[in-house]
Structure 1
Amino acid sequence: MSTIKYIKKSILMLSAAAAVTAQSCSIDVIPQNRYGEELIWSDPSTAELYVNGLYAEFKSFQFGLFPGLGYDNATDALADIMKYTSSTAGNGTVNILVSNANQFNPASVGLNYWSAGYNRIRRVNEFLDGLYKKSVLNDDQKLKYEAEARFVRGYAYFWLMRIHGSVVLFENLEQYATKDHGRSSEDDCWNFIAADFAFAAEHLDKTHLAGRATKGAAYAMLARTWLYAASSAEYDGGQYNVDPLTGVPADKATEYYGNAAAAAQEVVNLANEGLYALDENFASIFTNRNTKEAIFRVDFAAPQVTHQYDLGFTPPRDAPGQTLVYGVPTAELVDEFQMADGSAFSWSNPAHSADPYANREPRFYATILYNGASWKGRTINTTESDVLEGFIPYGTMGDPKRTVTGYYARKMLDPANTDFVINRSTQSWIELRYAEVLLILAEAKAGVNDISGAVGAINVLREKRGLPPVAAANKTGVMQLVEHERIVELAFEGHRFWDLRRWRKAHEVLNATRFTGHRPVAMGDGFGYEVVQADNFDRSFTPALYYLPIPEIEVQRNNALDQIRGW
């Protein structure tokens, strides 16, 4: 079968537009038939258009989205920091999944990226095959395009590994000549992904258009990859699955943490050259396209390329009767934010409970909208007396479109966008942020027992966030700091559920428990806050969910593909 096929003239005419909208990853070229293959590879602009299309994969996970599962922030709603408000299938599918671990099975899967991921991987391999067999590009151009393509392939494989832990590896197009292919070991898979990102890091430039891979983005993804591999080596130990291909040998943990630290340090080195930096204003990071925190981002431009994040999460009075309020912060997340002096917040502290939203750290005000918060020229009222924007107990309405925890999400909303119903939204999705790299560096250094280096990386972040430095005497102490910082710093950016899984803590944090909210109750001239359940069922997470099943239909199609053992 021909590897690169004829692209219709109408699509080729979009190449000029692609130069403008490439950063939004809006064009995904789909080859139509076999005719004209040589013509395509004789035109360098066509290769550019094809590469632009490959980047569409990053839109599949923008704003914490998971394909086919609810809406933005869906994966954080699988964890303990966000509560989806709906109890109905569709809007509330996340709540159905977390209510019963049996909802995840080979027939329905629950988190299914297999077909979409492998379609993208094949597209990349087709491109690489044509690039070296038929392209008229020079060797330097070929290396750059290969680096970008492998960056995308590594990203698709990273997601498949996050879910399943053992997948089928396709390195070149010749492998597709054979119908049936078996899974590779988890260790081999992580090394394959790391090789893609390492190649990209070696051959990419330091700067590029937004939405296109750079050396820093490749090193950041390489650091993230090695951190996941090291986490499996340290925390799994064969305790949670008997499949012979899952798990990473424990004796590789230190090596892989070292690899993660080295890759993260390369990004720090680029920051020291002026390419990246922590932003002084935390709230503005997510609406400022010039922020140096963004290592890799997906941009949007009205009117053609937009999204609906504001419509999905802004409080109802922003557009009465039209906002959707998919998800809201949990009390567990709210309580994690520290006081301005760096001390822990506690409802048991009379001074804290008397005025719980005063004197909190800056990230709190940039992340959470609470009762009494100022927002778009008004004061948020989440008391039950406000029938439009106030608290409503979870489950009393199928789709309440208002808070079920007493809070609304502030982070990533655009406070200047007042016409999002008509014009939608255009703030960027930041896939890789410099703050995450520092937290990867801290965790990786702890993994190689460099405690001072780990704490130092954390304190670089805390200082920029207006908080005092912290200390830790050992790895356990560092990991407590890392987990806290990842919760508050990366909230609603799609990390928490996957962090709990890679640390093998999800069956402790997400099982046999119900998450909560705070219902404001008028008391004299002020308010008291009553803890209320935001779940009407115990959540369910079993150890089997650390390695989710391959869709049964894929196993049936591939005679060499066996199911993850235990499913």
Structure 2
Amino acid sequence: MLNRKVSFLYKVLSFTAVLVSFGSCREILEPPPVDLLVDDLVLRGPDDMDPVRIGLYNAVRSFGSATIFAGDFTPDYIQNNGTFTDYNELGTKQITAANTLASTLWGNIYSTIYIANFIDENIGKVSRVSQDEKDALVAQANFCRAYAYFIAAYSFGDVPKVTTTDVQTNRAIARAPQSEILALVREQYEAALEKLPERWDADNATLNKQFATKNAARAGLARYYLYQGEWANAEKMATDVINNKLQALDSSYVAVISTEFDAESIFEVAYGNTSSDDPGTSSTGLNNILVGRREVIPSNSYVAQLINVHAGTRTATISFSSANQQGRDNGWTVTKYGTPDQGNNNITIFRLAEMYLIRAEARAQQGKISGSSGALADVNVLRKRAKAPLASFTNQALALSTIETERLYELSFEGHRWYDLKRTGRLNAVMTAFSQNWNEKYKVWPIPVTEMQTNRNLKQNDGY
């Protein structure tokens, strides 16, 4: 088993140097030992390709937890239970521009974009490397940039469109319209799809899930089209992923939350067991926050929805202990993310079940309800896997309502809920009923105050 480290000193949008150390004793995302400064980041020959690629994926990994905080802690899945201000703000729905989780998400998104831009700017200088290898690295940069901007646009609204690594340019860049950012997302996913391989290694399934493939780009586009309301395109792209059979639904839902790189995983970010950003150990680590410190716990309304016969085995997402039941603690715990020594601390970005749900919703929106090519068939694929009673609906309204609940059962604490409620226009109705503190301004997160102080051309979101 390898025991290697790589450290990257790269710049966030304000281009303040931030040191992030990566470590692991698993054979994942591990290049030879190397220390890289952003100004000395090298991409000139074959020995430079893997370290830069690893840096790119490590940057994506660095905002995995923060995306789940945004997607599932902002809305109605959690209630505050601890002492950390950042999580209390999310739990009580009183988010401020000083929340460091927002700055973590913002900074690491732009770190990813920075490295992708660095690849674009320098790939032409690389010698003794084939054009296919160059194209593959650029395609991965396209994919990671697309995913980063997708999360940025739906988390913060209008955001800077950073297309260079030039410090002076980026220090004064203003926000671009969300529509322009999303057009870039589509362009980048399409470019990635053209050049990425179907698989990196026919004999190494893990490798094919931790580096972007064509199915990862298809999954990204399927989600993009769903959010954009392009139903036919969403259905087609999800179908392409399902039909090529490079992924398969696990026989048990429990395997999804207890296994890294399981059979249905399309793309996930991997964590070692000594890294400071590991979800089991850090102050933003999912296991530490959800299980160790219990800073947030499943909300009472979420528990009531999940503990339902229709959820089937997906109730394994949470567990109950009377030992924790005291004061405001309801005794429930999210168990989807383990400790560094357990086999379930990775964060899944795309998996096959989501593709079934995307296709079901896209089909329902087109009036395709029943039959083998209807929404009901896709929902029942997941109900059957979860050993839950099969669904039964005959009209579009019931189909969409069932699919929304099915997404709660299947995808909760994978970072979808806030984004789902926003794109379906249900955010204010759901959240006003959930919390008296809810304000419409929380449909987007605030631009971090540190970024506002550094870049005077940034304008804050309304209400913050």
State the distance in 2 between where 1:259 and 1:449 align: 15
The Cα offsets for residues 183-220 of structure 1, whole Å up to 9 and x where unpaired, read as 33322221211111121122111223142111111111
How far off is 1:121 after superposition?
1.2
1:486 correspondence with 2:460:
no
2:296 pairs, out of 311, 321, 327, with 327
> 1:111 is matched with which residue: 97, 102, 105?
102
Q: C-alpha distance in 1, partners of 2:293/2:454?
A: 39
Question: Do structure 1's residue 407 and structure 2's residue 407 form an aligned pair?
Answer: no
Residues 410-449 of structure 1: matches in 2 within 5 Å?
410-413=335-338, 424-427=341-344, 428-449=346-367
Identical-residue share of aligned pairs (%): 26
Cα offsets for 1:396-449 (capped at 9, x unmatched): xxxxxxxx1132333344xxxxxx6xx754523222111111111112222333
Q: Does 1:496 align with 2:417?
A: yes
| Cross-structure match for 1:461 | 382
Contact 2:61 2:269 in 1 (8 A): yes
Q: Secondary structure at the match of 2:348?
A: strand
In structure 1, the residue matched to 2:211 is 212
> Counterpart in 1 of 2:57?
55
Shift of 1:468: 3.5
Match of 1:507, SS? helix
Q: Is the deviation greater in 44-53 or in 173-182? A: 173-182
Count of matched residue positions in the alignment of Structure 1 and Structure 2: 426
CA distance in 1, matches of 2:454, 2:155: 20
Which aligned pairs between 1:74-89 and structure 2 lie closer than 5 A?
75-86=71-82, 88=83
Partners of 1:110 and 1:287 in 2: CA distance: 26
Q: Is the 8 A contact 2:162 2:170 kept in 1?
A: no
Structure 1 partner of 2:139: 147
Query: What is the identity, as a one-letter code, of the residue corresponding to 2:102?
Result: L
Q: Report deviation, 1:540.
A: 1.9
AA aligned opposite 1:331: N
TM-score (ref. length: structure 1) = 0.67
| Structure 2 residue matching 1:431: 3-state secondary structure | strand
Question: How far apart, in 1, do the equivalents of 2:362 and 2:213 lie?
Answer: 22
Check whether the contact 2:259–2:343 (CA below 8 A) recurs between aligned residues. no
Whole-angstrom distance in 2 between the partners of 1:553 and 1:93? 15
Using the alignment, how far apart are the partners of 1:110 and 1:221 within structure 2? 24
Among 531, 546, 565, which residue is 2:443 paired with?
546
Could you say which residue in structure 2 is the equivalent of 1:299? 270
| Separation in structure 1 between the aligned mates of residue 453 and residue 438 of structure 2, nearest angstrom | 27
Displacement of 1:483 after TM fit? 0.9
Asked if the contact 2:432/2:438 (under 8 Å) is kept, the reply is yes
Matched, 1:258 2:227: no
In structure 2, the CA distance between the partners of 1:505 and 1:361, relative to structure 1 (3 Å rule), is same
Q: Which amino acid aligns with 1:189?
A: I
Q: Which of structure 1's runs of 4+ aligned residues deviate more than 6 A?
A: 17-20, 24-29
| Residue 400 of structure 1: aligned partner | none
CA change 1:390–1:108 in 2 (3 A) is: closer
Alpha-carbon offset, residue 173 of structure 1: 5.3
Query: What is the DSSP-based 3-state SS (H/G/I as helix, E as strand, rest coil) of the residue aligned with 1:206?
Result: coil
Q: Which runs of 5+ in 2 are unaligned?
A: 1-7, 10-22, 201-206, 281-285
Counterpart position of 1:193: 185
Q: Which amino acid aligns with 2:326?
A: I
SS at match of 2:249: coil
Q: Contact (CA 8 Å) 1:153, 1:196: kept in 2 or not?
A: yes
1:361 and 2:295 are equivalent in the alignment: no
Which residues of 2 match residues 89-168 of structure 1 at below 5 A? 90=84, 92-99=85-92, 101=94, 103-105=95-97, 111-112=102-103, 113-168=105-160
Match of 1:281 in 2: 252
Query: Is the Cα contact below 8 Å between 1:28 and 1:50 reproduced in 2?
Result: no
Match of 2:37 in 1: 31
TM-score of the pair, normalised by structure 2 = 0.80
* Structure in which a larger fraction of residues adopt helix: 2
| Distance apart, 1:486 and its partner CA | 0.8
Residues 290 and 508 of structure 1: CA distance in aligned 2, closer, same or farther (over 3 Å):
closer
Task: Indicate whether 1:391 and 2:384 are aligned.
Answer: no
Letter in 2 for 1:481: T
For the residue of structure 2 that corresponds to 1:296, the secondary structure is strand
Checking the alignment, whether the CA contact within 8 Å between 1:446 and 1:478 is kept in structure 2 is: yes
For residue 262 of structure 1, report the CA deviation from its aligned partner.
2.2
CA–CA distance in structure 1, aligned partners of residues 367 and 30 of structure 2: 40
Describe the superposition over 1:68-102 as per-residue Cα deviations: whole angstroms up to 9, x where unpaired: xxxx757523322233321x2x2x5323344354x
For the residues of structure 2 that align with 1:117 and 1:184, how far apart are their CA atoms?
16
Aligned-residue offset at 1:555: 4.8
Deviation of 1:26 (Å): 11
Residues 153-179 of structure 1: CA distance to partner in whole angstroms, max 9, x if unpaired? 112111211212222223455897576
Aligned to 2:204: none
Letter in 2 for 1:31: L
| Residue of structure 2 in register with 1:245 after alignment | none
Following TM superposition, by how much is the alpha carbon of 1:228 offset from its aligned partner in structure 2, in angstroms? 2.3
Q: Which runs of 5+ in 1 are unaligned?
A: 1-6, 9-16, 231-255, 315-322, 343-359, 371-379, 383-388, 395-403, 414-419, 514-537
